[in-house]
Structure 1
Amino acid sequence: MHSQSNNQYSRRNFLKVSGVVSLGFMGLYACASRTVASSGINTSKGYGPLLPDPNGVLNLPKGFSYKVISKQGTQMSDGFFTPGKADGMASFAGSGGKVILVRNHEISPSSLADSPFGQKNELLSKIESNKLYDFGKGELPALGGTTTLIYNPKTQSVETEYLSLAGTIRNCAGGRTPWNSWVTCEEAVDKAGEKLEKDHGFNFEVPASEKIGLAEPIPLKAMGRFNHEAVCVDPRTSIVYETEDRPDGLIYRYLPNQPKELAKGGRLQVLAIKGQKSFDTRNWKLLETAKMPLRTDVEVEWIDIDNVESPEDDLRYRGFDKGAARFARGEGMWFGTNELYFACTNGGFESKGQVFKYVPSPEEGKPGEKNSPGKLQIFAEPNDSDIVKYCDNLTVAPWGDVVLCEDDAHPFVVGITPSGDYYKLAENTGYKSEFAGGVFSPDGNTYFVNIQGPGITLAITGPWRSSI
């Protein structure tokens, strides 16, 4: 534990050592007990105030409307039932202007009410056991996975819906690849034993396909075994970045041996702040450590880590001991133009959430990055529940703003402009459950989002901006 004077010194030292390049931030330190200022909600930067929904489900700005396009428990095109606990999603361009949506389901083996096979798993016999990653010895099959929806924007309806990955556990978020697949992530570290046949805690790849069928359930073990949340891929390099949903989680980088071939192995690394070994980015009030300032670039380095299948679920501990930075529940992650963003659900001085921005090095993943390292900053940390609370899944809008989902009983969809203004896009008034999986269609005309509790997926249309 550091004294207050030592703590102040370490903050100054952090700025000196970490390669800070932004100026004009020093006013943030005028009050030592609060590291981040907030610009508040600015409706002029968004689409105006949210208007009451006569149906009591979803408040939206003027000119916007929504439609429920999928609901838990309905029979899908392949005969199975739409699973519950819809979570992360991505959209892809389909034929004839249609949209392919790949959607996660955060289901545990015991959650029979959410099962795609019926509430007594009565349809389990309809699936080939080798297409199910973990059959659970026929007694406790893993019920998580993904579904794929083929959506027609002209009719605002789903034409096809099917199970596209089965037998995994708690598929939370994931990430879109530039080669038209979805990497889905298990937020679980269950191990094979009395009831389960396989270890869990892996990523799986699902092609974005209009053809009904289950993807081969191949665990991407070289990407690490841990409590995964999300990934994103830099289209220029095929490098994959990964978040870990733990209060003391890390940020990971996967360098595939072959571009676009994630299953063919690669190197796993962990993010560290240059010159600040084992730095804590969480900025929690009770932590007497250096606080990371808002919107101030710091240089990073990446550290190799071994034994990535981590039977003891200790990657985050070993990485931190090697010098990796610590983050507060890494969640949604998305690649923008030349940068990526990720959310930390309970980071920040008031533990209400942070959004980070990372700009990769021009020599990312190559020896030259040591001389021109990537840069990390806290993009948002408002420390005010009226602005943002418990940010989870996020995406980058066609016009360049970060659009995030709140994980709360009374959640909003919130936009953040590049300059740091906040605005509300939607309010869930119908269900005491989180928003999840928010993503825009490839043409930017539709925003898809889930409300997890009732297991519904909505399509929101209106006068969306078309570009930055």
Structure 2
Amino acid sequence: MATLTIGGSNRRSFLRRGAPAGGGLFALAAVEGLAARAAFAKDGHKDRVSPDNGGYGELRELTRTDPESGFSQTLWLPEDFDFKVFSVAGSVMRDGNRTPLAHDGMACFPTGRRGEWRLVRNHEERSNPGAGAPAGTPERRYDALGAGGTTTLKVHWADGEPHFDEAWQSLSGTIVNCAGGPTPWGSWLSCEETTAGTRAGWGADHGYVFEVASAAEGEVDPVPLKAMGRFVHEAVAVDPRSGVVYETEDQNTAGFYRFLPNVPGDLAEGGQLQMLKIADAWNYDTRTGQRSGRILYVEWVDVEEADPVEAEEDPLAVFNQGWALGAAVFGRLEGCFYGDGAVYVASTSGGDEGEGQLWEYRPRGGKGGTLKLVFESPDAELLSYPDNITVSPAGNLVLCEDTGRDLPALRGLTREGEIFPLARHEGATEWCGAAFSPDGRVLFANLQGAARGDLGDPALEPGRTIAIWGPWGKGVL
């Protein structure tokens, strides 16, 4: 496999290659199984979970220490699994910068060398203007007062375990970089979950998507992709067949968007932002009163001004344009991923119980498609606030719960719709950015930690990246 780059042949050829390996077979079975599981729950079978924790057995307590920072982490994992903690917030990186706060969304990319991968990781830094610890070089910083951005990590597999090699700043001067998504041409789209700007004391306007090449050896030029919209961004998913980018909005009143690039694979060339509308239904509200499996026919309405000047004062300035044309409303759209010819979207607070929904959008030609509710959580014990979602090597799902409960979990989800805890930790900081290595041997994920404050403050809980590995084949993942 050739080394991934962000230019030339990879951009031009991704449409011919189709969907990335490992992303297409899970969707139909997994989400239909989840819908069936919901039916059992509504019949009073709320206590059903995957037998023997998905085949992995009971969780056991393990403690490991990052040799670089001295930070110790305790996790509960299945028997014969192990983990490492590394790249802790505040630790010095290869370029002399300190690892920023608030580890969040992330993806794992091959490099062309066997057993070597790169992680591109967001930082949801929420310090006030100039109050954080801005990283990167001044000439590459998007906003001199912003302390967020992305870092890139180099890791490799040797002697039966993963090893962390080095990290560096790859995007600087942005803020509240929460989620995003990988592209088929080998880059990471990092999204700002805010529309704050110069009126709030920042040196630049925020609320944009930025592209980071996984192959970049240092900081990329911070180019805001303004045609993709200025709103409270969360995640993105790219349809590898068409190059269309789907975008979610993390607000209680949220829209679901798509971006039609003028040049597929080259998002900086501009395009048209659109918002989902239910055909023959004006301002359809998906948040309550929905029925799993019902097919809703979709059309898309154009957003006339993707970068409205009023967005800083009104974070719904983009949403309101689609709403005026009859677009639909969702509740806190977060995780977003492509598989089996469809886009799957997690509504974190949707549903009659407010515990979350999972929607499937299936394109039908260029003008529309169908929307279907495939799961709505009837009870917090079954699933609470689904956020980041990733696909396992065997085609099942791993969910990051965005919940404030103690002992938050990474949860496995089987094709039969049964849920089980895969990993737990003590405390309330959320799991984020789950991503398997391309060969399926390692599950990488982040524990977010504090999102604002002084990197040198020992009272702050630091963000950190976790690598989990073990006998995946003994269970369903």
TM-score (norm 1): 0.82
Counterpart of 1:427 (choices 419, 424, 427) is: 424
Counterpart of 1:206 (choices 207, 212, 218) is: 212
Q: Does the aligned pair in 1 maintain the 2:53–2:421 contact within 8 Å? A: no
Distance in 2 separating the partners of 1:308 and 1:67: 42
Structure 1 pair 36/388, CA: closer, same or farther in 2 (3 Å)? same
% identical equivalent positions: 41
Distance in 2 separating the partners of 1:172 and 1:37: 35
Name the aligned partner's letter for residue 142 of structure 2.
Answer: Y
Structure 1 pair 147/41, CA: closer, same or farther in 2 (3 Å)? same
1:280 Cα deviation after fit: 0.9
Report the equivalent of 2:439. 443
Q: What is the DSSP-based 3-state SS (H/G/I as helix, E as strand, rest coil) of the residue aligned with 1:246?
A: coil
Name the aligned partner's letter for residue 165 of structure 2.
Answer: E
Structure 1 pair 435/35, CA: closer, same or farther in 2 (3 Å)? same
1:114 Cα deviation after fit: 6.2
Distance in 1 separating the partners of 2:232 and 2:334: 11
Structure 1 pair 44/325, CA: closer, same or farther in 2 (3 Å)? farther
Q: What is the DSSP-based 3-state SS (H/G/I as helix, E as strand, rest coil) of the residue aligned with 1:57?
A: strand
Name the aligned partner's letter for residue 278 of structure 1.
Answer: N
Structure 1 pair 421/377, CA: closer, same or farther in 2 (3 Å)? farther
Name the aligned partner's letter for residue 140 of structure 2.
Answer: K
Report the equivalent of 1:93. 110
Q: Does residue 458 in structure 1 map to residue 466 in structure 2? A: yes
Counterpart of 1:181 (choices 183, 187, 192) is: 187
Q: Does the aligned pair in 2 maintain the 1:72–1:114 contact within 8 Å? A: no
Structure 1 pair 87/194, CA: closer, same or farther in 2 (3 Å)? closer
Counterpart of 1:59 (choices 65, 76, 85) is: 76
1:437 Cα deviation after fit: 0.5
Q: Does the aligned pair in 1 maintain the 2:231–2:318 contact within 8 Å? A: yes
Q: What is the DSSP-based 3-state SS (H/G/I as helix, E as strand, rest coil) of the residue aligned with 2:323?
A: helix
Q: Does residue 346 in structure 1 map to residue 344 in structure 2? A: no
Q: Does the aligned pair in 1 maintain the 2:195–2:205 contact within 8 Å? A: yes
Counterpart of 2:413 (choices 390, 412, 416) is: 416
1:445 Cα deviation after fit: 1.1
Q: Does the aligned pair in 1 maintain the 2:384–2:403 contact within 8 Å? A: yes
Distance in 1 separating the partners of 2:169 and 2:242: 30
Distance in 1 separating the partners of 2:138 and 2:170: 14
Report the equivalent of 1:311. 309
Report the equivalent of 1:395. 390
Structure 1 pair 442/349, CA: closer, same or farther in 2 (3 Å)? same
Report the equivalent of 2:332. 329
Report the equivalent of 2:157. 153
Q: What is the DSSP-based 3-state SS (H/G/I as helix, E as strand, rest coil) of the residue aligned with 1:152?
A: strand
Q: Does the aligned pair in 2 maintain the 1:35–1:294 contact within 8 Å? A: no
1:116 Cα deviation after fit: 5.6
Q: Does residue 253 in structure 1 map to residue 250 in structure 2? A: no
**Is there any run of 5+ residues in structure 2 with no aligned partner, and where?**
1-31, 64-72, 312-316, 450-461
Q: Does the aligned pair in 2 maintain the 1:50–1:424 contact within 8 Å? A: no
Deviations 1:374-420 (A, max 9, x none): 22222222221212111111112222223210112331112233442
Structure 1 pair 218/282, CA: closer, same or farther in 2 (3 Å)? same
Distance in 1 separating the partners of 2:169 and 2:44: 44
Distance in 2 separating the partners of 1:43 and 1:320: 45
**Is there any run of 5+ residues in structure 1 with no aligned partner, and where?**
1-21, 118-126, 136-140, 284-290
Q: Does the aligned pair in 2 maintain the 1:308–1:315 contact within 8 Å? A: yes
Q: Does the aligned pair in 2 maintain the 1:39–1:421 contact within 8 Å? A: no
Distance in 1 separating the partners of 2:346 and 2:281: 21
Name the aligned partner's letter for residue 442 of structure 2.
Answer: T
Report the equivalent of 2:94. 77
Q: How many residues align?
A: 411
1:152 Cα deviation after fit: 0.8
1:228 Cα deviation after fit: 0.2
Structure 1 pair 398/340, CA: closer, same or farther in 2 (3 Å)? farther
Deviations 1:298-332 (A, max 9, x none): 22111111111022231112212212111111111
Report the equivalent of 1:124. none
Structure 1 pair 192/112, CA: closer, same or farther in 2 (3 Å)? closer
Distance in 2 separating the partners of 1:318 and 1:35: 41
Root-mean-square deviation over aligned CA pairs:
2.7
Structure 1 pair 36/258, CA: closer, same or farther in 2 (3 Å)? farther
Q: Residues 211-360 of structure 1: matches in 2 within 5 Å?
A: 211-283=216-288, 291-313=289-311, 314-360=317-363
Structure 1 pair 43/82, CA: closer, same or farther in 2 (3 Å)? farther
Report the equivalent of 2:401. 406
Report the equivalent of 1:3. none
Structure 1 pair 112/225, CA: closer, same or farther in 2 (3 Å)? closer
